[in-house]
Structures are given as structure tokens and as C-alpha cells.
């Protein structure tokens, strides 16, 4: 009787306990963790089929990833050429060496200037005489035909517009006769890079669609093999969200592992190619080194692969799950 009285006074019991939001979130997280691990174990229990799907995804991601890495290296190489390209400033004839040296000292204070080298007319003639082999012909000239030259090295942080602005400022100097700044080849290179970037986006979109179809077809086969299990789950009260969850995690696992395998393939390709590229650069007197795929790009590749796997799984589940009823 006393026990009944305690219960009747509102003492907490199993049926009267309320579940808080924190407990709900903890249970939700544990259930998702359980489904994720169980889904991975199911994939590993069929290694041949899972590895084949992972390899297809990895190869489909490796091609645009390799083109992306190549484009990044070409962009870095073009910016290095642009920054290291010198500007030749030809002075007017009969400009005194003192005036030329004073101008070169003033140019050092300009924005985006890393260094200045002044070459006098006599020094230019001496170098031309030594390099051309026309010493006897030059002796017949009444005066030195070569002007003084100021070689301006733009800073490494200077962009293309900054270099063009610097060239325009140099042209306005009263002692300057001509400024040699050839950017036509650089414009062609940037146009080629823009075209390559557009090709990568088109090819990447097609391969992304292929990944969605591959994952979707794999999930469809998995749904077909578990029709009876899905019907029993729905019969005992399982919702579509409950039934859909393991297939969505399966798509995430396909994308994650496929993305990791693609990154490994890109690293292997970089290791195989970087050595010959450095040797070729050394033959041209350059210290250029081929850069691997950046950490940010690798994360984008992995995240994109997981998203494509999830989209393929969701698309397949949306199409076929509602057709299965107990």
C-alpha cells in the first residue's frame, strides 16, 4: 500500500521519465555511428565489388585532379615568369652617364621595383663587341650607336597590371626613349590557362555525373538484394528515413574511400613525374619544382567525392525505396 501511495504522489518511475534534448542528441549520434560502422563492415565483407567501385570512383576523380594540379603548376610558373621578366628602358641618344645613373637611382624608389641595373652606352658597346664578333665593323662607325639602358626588375609580388603601370610610368620620364615590355606571350599563356580551366570544369562535370550514376547503380543493386529485409523493417514500424540511412552512409563511404584512393594516385603520379620535371628545368637553368596537389585542393577533392557519393545514393534510394512496401 505504501508503495502505491508513493507512486500516486508522483514519485518518478520508468513511465514518467522525460527524455531531454541532450539524451536525444546522444542517442541520435550513437545510432548514426552504429549505422556508419555497420555499413562499412558490410562493404568490407564484399571486398571485390567494393574495391571495383572504389577504383572506378578513384580513376574518375584522378583525371580532373591531375589536370587541376597541372593547371596550378602552370599558373605558378606563369606568375614566376611574369615577376621575373625584366623591363628594358632605353635612354635617349647622347644621354650622359651621370644623368642615366641618377635616373636609375630614382627608379629604385618606384613602386613594385625589386632591382635596377644601369648599363652605360660604352658598356653596352663593349658587350656587343664581345658577343657579336663585329669588332672591326664597329671600329668604322664615327660614334657609338648604342644608347644607355636601364634594366628594371619588377618585384615578385607585382601582378600583371602593376607591371604594366610601371612600364607606363617609365615611358613618361623625359630621358626615356623606349620601354621594352613584351606581354603578348603572357597574354597568350593566360588565355590558354583560361581555356584549360574551362575544359577541366566540363570534363569534371561529366565525370562527376558518371560517379553519381555508378554509385546510384551500386546502391540500386544493394536495395534489390535487401528487399525482404526492407519490407520486414517497414512492417514493424521502421520509417523511410530509418531504412534510407544505411544506404546514404554507403554512398558516403564509396565517395570517401574513392577520394582517398584518388589522392593516393595523384601523389604517386607526382612522385613519378617530379624528378624528370626538375631535371628538365635544370637543363634550362631553372630551379623550378613541380608542386603536388595542395592541402586545400585535396580537401575539396575528398569533400566533393563524398558529396557525389551521397547524391548518387540519395538519388537511387529516392527512386526505388518508395516502391517497396510490406
Predicted local distance difference test score (pLDDT) of residue 144: 61
Cα separations in angstroms, 50 against 197, 227, 253, 255 = 32, 20, 10, 11
Which strand (E) or helix (H) includes residue 121? helix 121-132
Strands 176-180 and 113-119, sheet pairing: unpaired
Q: What are phi and psi of 294, to 5 degrees?
A: -65, 160
Q: How far is residue 151's CA from residue 119's CA, in Å, rounded to a whole number?
A: 8
Q: How far is residue 126's CA from residue 39's CA, in Å, rounded to a whole number?
A: 78
- Whether 167 and 181 have beta carbons less than 8 Å apart is answered as yes
Q: How far is residue 57's CA from residue 262's CA, in Å, rounded to a whole number?
A: 8
String of DSSP letters for 66-120: HHHHHHHHHHHHHHHHHHH--EEEEEPTT--HHHHHHHHHHHTTSTTEEEEEEE-
User: For the segment 250-309, what is each residue's pLDDT rounded down to a tens digit?
Assistant: 999 999 999 999 999 999 999 998 888 888 777 766 677 788 888 888 899 899 999 999
Predicted local distance difference test score (pLDDT) of residue 84: 47
Cell of 225: 538484394
Q: What are phi and psi of 295, to 5 degrees?
A: -65, -40
Cell of 84: 621575373
Name residue 87's beta-bridge partners: 152
Name residue 180's beta-bridge partners: 88
Cα separations in angstroms, 1 against 6, 12, 15, 152, 281 = 9, 17, 20, 102, 94
Cα separations in angstroms, 80 against 287, 288, 296 = 11, 9, 21
Q: What are phi and psi of 16, to 5 degrees?
A: -95, -5
User: For the segment 134-155, what is each residue's pLDDT rounded down to a tens digit?
Assistant: 555 555 555 666 778 888 877 7
Predicted local distance difference test score (pLDDT) of residue 236: 83
Q: How far is residue 211's CA from residue 204's CA, in Å, rounded to a whole number?
A: 10
Predicted local distance difference test score (pLDDT) of residue 3: 39
- Whether 324 and 272 have beta carbons less than 8 Å apart is answered as no
Specify the residue for cell string 626588375. Answer: 153
Predicted local distance difference test score (pLDDT) of residue 130: 62
Which strand (E) or helix (H) includes residue 115? strand 113-119
Q: How far is residue 262's CA from residue 259's CA, in Å, rounded to a whole number?
A: 5
For the chain, residues with pLDDT lower than 70 are: 1-19, 75-85, 125, 127-145, 156-159, 182-186, 189, 284-286, 326
Closest listed residue to residue 176, CA positions, set 261, 85, 237, 107? 107
- Whether 176 and 92 have beta carbons less than 8 Å apart is answered as yes
Predicted local distance difference test score (pLDDT) of residue 83: 46
Domains and CATH numbers, the chain: 23-80+187-323 (no CATH), 93-174 (3.30.70.3040)
Amino acid at each position: 500500500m505504501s508503495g502505491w501511495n508513493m507512486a500516486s504522489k508522483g514519485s518518478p518511475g520508468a513511465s514518467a521519465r522525460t527524455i531531454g534534448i541532450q539524451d536525444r542528441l546522444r542517442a541520435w549520434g550513437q545510432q548514426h555511428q552504429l549505422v556508419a560502422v555497420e555499413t562499412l563492415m558490410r562493404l568490407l565483407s564484399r571486398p571485390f565489388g567494393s574495391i571495383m567501385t572504389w577504383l572506378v570512383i578513384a580513376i574518375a576523380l584522378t583525371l580532373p585532379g591531375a589536370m587541376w594540379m597541372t593547371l596550378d603548376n602552370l599558373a605558378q610558373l606563369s606568375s614566376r615568369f611574369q615577376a621575373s621578366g625584366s623591363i628594358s628602358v632605353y635612354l635617349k641618344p647622347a644621354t650622359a652617364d651621370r644623368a642615366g645613373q641618377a635616373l636609375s637611382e630614382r627608379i629604385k624608389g618606384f613602386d613594385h621595383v625589386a632591382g635596377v641595373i644601369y648599363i652605360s652606352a660604352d658598356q653596352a658597346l663593349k658587350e656587343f663587341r664581345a658577343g657579336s664578333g663585329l669588332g672591326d665593323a664597329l671600329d668604322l662607325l664615327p660614334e657609338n650607336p648604342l644608347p644607355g639602358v636601364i634594366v628594371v626588375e619588377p618585384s615578385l609580388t607585382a601582378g600583371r597590371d602593376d607591371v604594366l603601370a610601371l612600364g607606363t610610368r617609365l615611358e613618361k620620364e623625359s630621358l626615356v626613349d623606349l620601354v621594352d615590355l613584351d606581354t603578348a606571350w603572357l597574354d597568350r599563356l593566360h588565355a590558354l590557362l583560361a581555356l584549360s580551366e574551362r575544359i577541366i570544369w566540363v570534363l569534371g562535370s561529366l565525370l562527376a555525373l558518371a560517379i553519381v550514376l555508378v554509385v546510384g547503380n551500386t546502391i540500386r543493386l544493394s536495395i534489390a538484394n535487401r528487399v525482404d529485409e526492407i519490407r520486414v523493417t517497414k512492417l514493424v514500424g521502421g520509417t523511410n528515413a530509418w531504412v534510407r540511412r544505411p544506404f546514404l552512409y554507403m554512398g558516403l563511404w564509396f565517395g570517401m574511400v574513392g577520394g582517398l584512393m584518388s589522392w593516393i594516385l595523384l601523389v604517386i603520379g607526382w612522385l613519378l613525374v617530379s624528378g624528370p620535371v626538375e631535371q628538365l628545368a635544370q637543363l634550362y637553368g631553372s630551379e623550378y619544382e613541380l608542386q603536388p596537389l595542395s592541402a586545400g585542393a585535396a580537401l575539396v577533392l575528398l569533400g566533393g567525392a563524398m558529396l557525389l557519393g551521397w547524391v548518387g545514393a540519395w538519388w537511387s534510394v529516392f527512386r526505388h525505396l518508395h516502391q517497396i512496401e510490406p
